[in-house]
Amino acid sequence: MSYFKTKQALITQLLAASIPNITSDDIAFENKDFDPSNKPLWLALYFIPATTGMMGKTPASSDEQRGVFQVSVFTSLNNNDYDNVQLQIIDSILSAFQYNSSTVYNNHKVDILESTVNNGTENESWFKRDISINYLTFSTR
C-alpha cells in the first residue's frame, strides 16, 4: 500500500492541469507554511484516505483503497468579479479529474470515481468552495 504514491499521483494531475490565474506558489500544501494575505486567489489541498479493504489474506494479496482528494478554492470576499474567476478555476480542476479517468505516479494508478463541488462558504476574508475528488486505487502490501 502506498499513500505516498496515491497522493503524488493526485497532486501531479492537479499541477498538470491548465488552471487560470494559479501557479504552484498559489497552492497551500498540507504541513507547509503558506501565507495567502496578498493573494486574490489560492488553493488548499487535502489528502484524506478513507477506507482500505483487503482483497486476499496472503502477503502477496492486494488492498483496495478509497479516499478523497479535496481542493479548496479561495477568492477574496466581496471582490468585483464575484465568484466568476473562482468558478473558472473549479471548471478547470473538474476537467482534470473527470469521472472514470485515471492518473499515475511511478506505475501506481489512481482511478477517479467522482468529483463534486459544494455551495461555498465565507471563511474569514475569503469565499471558499471545496471540490471533493473521490478516488480508488489498488496496491500490493
What b-and-e string marks burial along 128-137, b requiring 16 or more CB atoms within 10 Å of the CB?
Answer: bbbbbbbbbb
Q: Residues 23-34: pLDDT tens digits?
A: 999 999 999 999
Q: What is the pLDDT of residues 12-57, one digit of tens each?
A: 999 999 999 999 999 999 999 999 998 999 999 999 999 988 877 8
* Per-residue pLDDT at 39: 93
DSSP category for residue 19:
-
Dihedral angle, C-alpha 119, 121, 125, 131, nearest 10 °: -50
Given this model, what pLDDT does residue 93 score? 98
CA distances from 124 to 8, 25, 77 (A): 30, 21, 8
Domain that holds residue 54: 3-140
Tell me the CATH number at 67.
3.30.2000.20
* Number of domains composing the chain: 1
pTM: 0.91
